[in-house]
Structure 1
Amino acid sequence: MLRQKTTVIWAVIVTIILTGVIVWQWSLAKVTQEAEHYEKLKTFTEVLSLVKKNYVEEVKDKDLIYGAIKGMLQSLDPHSSFMPPEVFKEMQVETKGEFGGIGIQIGIKDGILTVIAPIEDTPAYKAGVKAGDKIIKINEEQTKDMSLHDAVTRLRGPKGTSVTITLMRKEWDSPRDMTIQRDIIKIHSIKSRVLEDGIGYIKLTQFHEQTGAELEKALKGLEKENINALILDLRNNPGGVLDVSVDVSSRFLPQGKLVVSIKGRKEVKKEYHTGNSKKYYDYPMVVLVNEGSASASEIIAGAFKDHSRSVLVGTKTFGKGSVQTVIPLSDGSGLRLTTARYYTPKGTSIHTTGITPDIIVTPDASKEEDIQLQRAIDILKTWRILKEPPKTG
């Protein structure tokens, strides 16, 4: 009995010692990590001090610190950025639906400033800027190593002023200049009409907070025209609010269907499912996409493809499958940080790869006819005859 008690006591002592060692090692690792952290910051403060003392011109601490933060964010990925207070305030402008500029959404692809999509009925759209165009210069300033924020700042400006952009396109032998007059850019997210043979058509140009309600209104209007099939046009739609893409999907997919999941480095995977929409629209459906379809557009295209809800027609999408979180900072500035990636219902990452349509139709610049739209119409007519979507692959 005594031997048994002694064994138990020693077991407790060993457990306490082991627990203490583990906690001590964890604490030591944490302290070591923080020490390394501050050791690297020591180099930064050393450089800051040397610049303040020896640089040829006097510089403000704020400019140096902000410049260092910008450089740190630029080293991560093209979509992470630092916004000084005045820029952080300006960021709200676009979501309100009106701003001064030429009307293009831009991103960085393969290290080059690239047009994601021109916004319909804007100066850039009317001037002939196309999705996929590479922006080589803005007002003769090279865009290589230019941040997205700096590019946007240079493109925007008061109504009536002009900006010259130098573009390179696949079909061109050399870059070309376009001088475009800025205007107030008003974003209208939805256009709808009835095409031939009772086929409804809805063009979604962007996803903002009112898109779901605007879509519902458009669908009800088309129903009054007795449509029997639908084309959803997501071409040149650069995306927008994640929740809105789920809201849009909820009108065409049954309740409870997985639309998209997101996962960060440490976060548990978060899933977004279709909600209980007031009405579920189950028309035969074709979705049009191209290289200007990005972000939220790709979420919808990926969900519809994985759930076999529609036939995807067009060209491969842009491939922006990352999630940016906007974080306000204490001095009024802000941080836009990539914190996660999107995954389609079948677990496919669209980041950099995009989504390949079921039926690839490349536009023909020599023809006035929209051959992608015409192909969508033909598919729906065939669908109606066969009573099932045409085979793809």
Structure 2
Amino acid sequence: MIKNRRTVAVMVIISMLAGSMLTLLIPNVMDAWESSVFHDSQQGVPEMEEAQPPFWKQNGMTEQQMQKIATTYRLIQNKYVEKMDGNEVIDGAITGMLDSLKDPYSVYMDTEQAEQFNETVFESQFSGIGAEVTMDEGKVTIMAPIKGSPAERAGLLPKDVILSVNGEKLLGLTLNEAVAKIRGPKGTQAKLEIVRGTQSEPMEIIVVRDDIDINTVFTEMLDNGIGYMDIRQFALNTGTSFEEQLAELEKQNMKGLIIDLRNNPGGVLSVVISMVQKFVPAGEIVVQVEDASGQRQQEKSKDGSKTYPVVVIINEGSASASEIMAAALQESAGMQVVGMPSFGKGTVQSTFDSGGEDGSSLKMTIAKWLTPNGNDINKKGVQPDVKVELPDYFQATILPKDEELQYDDNNGQVRSLQLMLTALGYKTDRTDGYFSEQTKLAVRAFQKIEQLPMDGIVNEKTATRIEEKYIEKLRLPESDLHLQKAIEVMNNRLNP
């Protein structure tokens, strides 16, 4: 039986490449603008030495482009009806430049946002709901709830779209602005209005924020010499923990390994390469990285020392670096992948100093990665060898405690109630969110068994008891259909 899983931190980037590898588009912006282009056109532009052309020309900008930016800034400062802070205007300009890329992973981070980002990546703990989010067509979208996190416990799923937080709409905000509203101190509530899949009516999910710890690898020995490894992200310290815990499993005479990458949002490229190459034969391709010019760099295994079979589990929340591991094991090591198609993030990001000397930075997509066979999985995902669909009741979210659900109600919360009752074996004639007479009878049947007042109304006590029984059901080993299938596949490999 798999032990209770602990919360972990989310790694937003797939790669932390050195900033010197690429030239920043506009370095030292403020110094150059103040010295050369913020003068009125009638006063002329200060002369510059022939040997040192202006910075904007050195970086590929035309004089007309630079003049447009300078003119817009001057008009805002001199003509706009309200007084604007110059730094905010410049930050907005940089944000707009990155928005023009139409890439949800390329963003500008002001000083505060950059500090929060670094805290998430490098610190041992931060507070929040525990979910990786991205911007998809202007909508804040869940990539993956972290295993064991408040987001997962509340029932958030990959692809859920967050419309608002505590009544504040997120439409029109940048991803960093939205994340700032979602995060918060431990113990506080985030009331999220979400839309799931094709359902038209939004539902409210309340998530109580908590500390998210950076513990990334958890292992256990299952029956028949099968090792189980749960990798929750690829952080800077994951490789070391991976080697230590893998060695412990091997000491227990492990015959085969199941690697669980479900809801793993990714992490550091170099870390996943160092880990996966242990299972990929030496000389075989682990991943290919293609830059803007189309040049490909192949990362090949230098190890291949682990020869026992491996089965990988993925789902819709497996993204980025976890997809690299799954694809490498599938295509270069001949291992089987079980579960559902992964998220589909096939791009590589790096962070750069903005040049403003204020702690702000840019995170920008610099390349895309391809599988060993050259497949582009972006927006497609890694396809499992053995696909395992989960029952609809896995989509249920927590029930409201501050309002009652009763006959003739019609909303997403009733649908979650119906899904939970179905999972527990009670018959409801529908799962579309309408509180029917049969749903009422199912509630009364549950209340009778649990010795609650049999009124067919879902109040706080009934809702809490239904949730408790539902969670107990999902925690049963036989309810983890992905893991059960992975064990079956592994046993077939060990005993053909």
What interval of TM-score do these two structures reach, taking the shorter chain for normalisation? 0.7 to 0.9
Q: Does the CA-based 8 Å contact 2:286-2:332 persist in structure 1?
A: no
CA distance in 2, matches of 1:34, 1:316: 41
Q: How does 1:127-276 map to 2 (within 5 A)?
A: 127-170=154-197, 172=199, 174-266=201-293, 268-276=295-303
Q: 1:85 to 1:377 in 2, by over 3 A?
A: same
CA distance in 1, matches of 2:260, 2:169: 34
CA distance in 2, matches of 1:110, 1:255: 41
Q: Does the CA-based 8 Å contact 2:288-2:372 persist in structure 1?
A: yes
Q: How far 1:60 moved relative to its partner? A: 1.1
Q: How far 1:281 moved relative to its partner? A: 2.1
CA distance in 1, matches of 2:239, 2:302: 12
Q: 1:32 to 1:163 in 2, by over 3 A?
A: closer
Q: How far 1:338 moved relative to its partner? A: 0.8
- Tell me what 2:110 maps to: 84
Of residues 370, 373, 378 in structure 1, which corresponds to 2:483?
A: 373
Q: How far 1:72 moved relative to its partner? A: 1.2
- Tell me what 1:291 maps to: 316
Q: 1:322 to 1:275 in 2, by over 3 A?
A: same
Q: How far 1:301 moved relative to its partner? A: 1.0
- Tell me what 1:39 maps to: 64
Matched, 1:282 2:307: yes
- Tell me what 1:56 maps to: 81
Q: 1:382 to 1:267 in 2, by over 3 A?
A: closer
Letter in 1 for 2:290: K
Q: 1:72 to 1:216 in 2, by over 3 A?
A: same
Q: 1:360 to 1:111 in 2, by over 3 A?
A: farther
Q: 1:158 to 1:34 in 2, by over 3 A?
A: closer
Q: How far 1:121 moved relative to its partner? A: 2.2
Letter in 2 for 1:326: T
Letter in 2 for 1:135: I
CA distance in 2, matches of 1:224, 1:157: 42
The one-character-per-residue Cα deviations of 1:23-81 (angstroms, maximum 9, x if unpaired) are xxxxxxxx999997221332232222222122222111111011111111122111101
SS at the partner of 2:329? Answer: helix
Q: How far 1:128 moved relative to its partner? A: 1.5
Q: 1:97 to 1:34 in 2, by over 3 A?
A: closer
CA distance in 2, matches of 1:355, 1:35: 38
SS at the partner of 2:272? Answer: helix
Letter in 1 for 2:218: K
CA distance in 2, matches of 1:114, 1:289: 19
The one-character-per-residue Cα deviations of 1:315-365 (angstroms, maximum 9, x if unpaired) are 111111111111113223211111110011111111112111111111224
Structure scoring higher RCO (CA < 8 A, sep ≥ 6) equals 2
- Tell me what 2:492 maps to: 382
Letter in 1 for 2:391: D
Matched, 1:338 2:365: yes
Q: 1:190 to 1:385 in 2, by over 3 A?
A: same
CA distance in 2, matches of 1:227, 1:292: 28
Identity %: 36
Q: Does the CA-based 8 Å contact 1:247-1:275 persist in structure 2?
A: no
Q: How far 1:87 moved relative to its partner? A: 2.2
Structure 1 stretch 193-202 or stretch 338-347: which is displaced more?
193-202
Q: TM-score, normalised by structure 2?
A: 0.68
SS at the partner of 2:342? Answer: coil
CA distance in 2, matches of 1:131, 1:196: 31
Q: Does the CA-based 8 Å contact 1:155-1:163 persist in structure 2?
A: yes
List alignment gaps of at least 5 residues for structure 2. Answer: 1-55, 394-422, 424-473
Provide runs of 4+ in structure 1 moved above 4 Å: 31-36
Q: Does the CA-based 8 Å contact 1:258-1:273 persist in structure 2?
A: yes
CA distance in 2, matches of 1:264, 1:180: 39
Of residues 314, 320, 344 in structure 1, which corresponds to 2:339?
A: 314
Letter in 2 for 1:325: S
- Tell me what 1:357 maps to: 384
Of residues 93, 109, 123 in structure 2, which corresponds to 1:68?
A: 93
CA distance in 2, matches of 1:160, 1:199: 38
Q: TM-score, normalised by structure 1?
A: 0.84
Letter in 2 for 1:269: R
Letter in 1 for 2:234: F
Q: Does the CA-based 8 Å contact 2:347-2:365 persist in structure 1?
A: yes
SS at the partner of 1:64? Answer: helix
Q: 1:34 to 1:106 in 2, by over 3 A?
A: closer
Equivalent residues, number: 354
Q: Does the CA-based 8 Å contact 1:107-1:116 persist in structure 2?
A: yes
- Tell me what 1:391 maps to: none
Letter in 1 for 2:484: Q
Letter in 2 for 1:381: N
